[in-house]
Structure 1
Amino acid sequence: MHALRKWLLSGLLVIVPLVITLGVLNWIIGTLDQTLWLLPEQWQVWLTEHRVRGLGVLLTLAILLVVGAVASNFVGKRLLGWGDAVVRRIPVVRSIYSSVKQVSDTLFSENGNAFRTAVLIEWPREGVWTIAFVTGTPGADVRAHLGGGEYLGVYVPTTPNPTGGYFVMLKRSDCIELQMSVDDALKYIVSMGVVVPGGPATLAKSQ
């Protein structure tokens, strides 16, 4: 029975990540295949009849590359600036667009500072520690009410779903900057501490 239980757990460790990965990939491919409506109707009919999957991924990548290439040159920047100005004049749309664009610029811009540093903080009370990510610094209006000292904007993710969490402002002296990368820190959080950055050797050394 002990051997059967061991084999069952080993099988689950192999199969579960594989099934979840394939399921996520299938969902992504199915979602991106919806972009095929951009193709001529005859092509859509032929692709549907022959059940060609995955072409939406290539089409989406091609669209992103073309848009990125156009946006990178002088003419494209002028056109994007003009379109941005037009959208920002529409009463309801401008508030939504401005918020989304500010977040996307922060997350995807090469000059952005979002999630660039992993820090160790005491949360949710003194003596309890967790890993968080520096997102920036508070604005002048907020700093005026925080008193003395330098503060950082910090995102504290939840486990095992890091997309939910808390945004807090802490003194820089209360944030211990870690040497681990953001990717390693996210793996550590998602795995609930099971996947230790540096591998088993690091864990054995610490013990």
Structure 2
Amino acid sequence: MRWLKTYLLTGLLIWVPVVITIWVLGIVVNTLEGVVPAFLSPQALFGFDLPGFRVLLVLVVLLVTGMLGANFLGKRLFSLSEKILGRIPLVRSIYHSVKQVSDTLLAPNGQAFRQAVMIRYPHQSSWSIAFLTGAPTGEIAAHLAGDFVSVYVPTTPNPTSGFFLLMPRAEVIPLNMSVDTALKYIVSMGVVSPPAS
């Protein structure tokens, strides 16, 4: 019976990453296709279904928008549209919040996660991997005595949720491992160990 267990585990190790990858890609494709209005669907335009057409259409729109946003006229148009959105009460708060997060995470020169660090969390006798995200400023910094940094502690195995902490810089240990390596370590629940530096 040991051979049966070995083969089943080997099969799981081969298929689980493949199935999860296909599942995540399916969610992304379905989300992109859901953005396209019905009058731009392949059935409405050509009279028959064309797999991948809506995803391709979304990618083309993103590319064209990016090209427009990179030149002077496009920047002026987007700046004007932002001002208009900034005058609508409910839309203003949602738009600006989402824009700040997306600018931080998606900007080509952005540093959402600057460095992998180690901190004592959730209590003094345990350690967690976290990411340095910056330093507190303004009113927050005025209430803190000393040199503090902002860190994000992701949860395992889903690093998109986690905890935001303000910690004394002296209590944060910088790590040599890359952010990608630290993320793999966290997502794998410590199974995929980072290489020795």
TM-score, scaled to structure 2: 0.91
SS at match of 1:98: helix
Q: Tell me which residue corresponds to 1:45.
A: 47
Contact kept, 8 Å, 2:113 with 2:131, in 1: the verdict is yes
Q: Tell me which residue corresponds to 1:166.
A: 163
Q: Tell me which residue corresponds to 2:61.
A: 63
1:11-90 counterparts in 2 under 5 A?
A: 11-34=11-34, 35=36, 37=38, 38=40, 42-43=44-45, 45-47=47-49, 52-90=50-88
Q: How far apart in 2 are the matches of 1:20 and 1:12? A: 12
Structure 2's unaligned 5+ residue stretches are: none
Contact kept, 8 Å, 1:36 with 1:56, in 2: the verdict is no
How many pairs align?
A: 195
Contact kept, 8 Å, 1:117 with 1:134, in 2: the verdict is yes
SS at match of 2:48: helix
Alpha-carbon shift at residue 31 of structure 1 (Å): 2.8
TM-score, scaled to structure 1: 0.87
SS at match of 2:55: helix
Q: Tell me which residue corresponds to 1:121.
A: 119
Amino acid paired to 1:166: F
Contact kept, 8 Å, 1:36 with 1:59, in 2: the verdict is no
Alpha-carbon shift at residue 41 of structure 1 (Å): 5.7
SS at match of 1:46: coil
Contact kept, 8 Å, 2:149 with 2:166, in 1: the verdict is yes
SS at match of 1:154: strand
Q: How far apart in 1 are the matches of 2:191 and 2:46? A: 46
Amino acid paired to 2:172: C
With over 3 angstroms needed to count, the CA separation of the structure-2 counterparts of 1:12 and 1:122, relative to structure 1, is same
Aligned match of 1:189 in 186, 189, 194? 186
Q: How far apart in 2 are the matches of 1:92 and 1:143? A: 29
Measured on the aligned residues, the alpha-carbon RMSD in Å equals 1.9
Contact kept, 8 Å, 2:85 with 2:92, in 1: the verdict is yes
Q: How far apart in 2 are the matches of 1:17 and 1:120? A: 28
Structure 1's unaligned 5+ residue stretches are: none
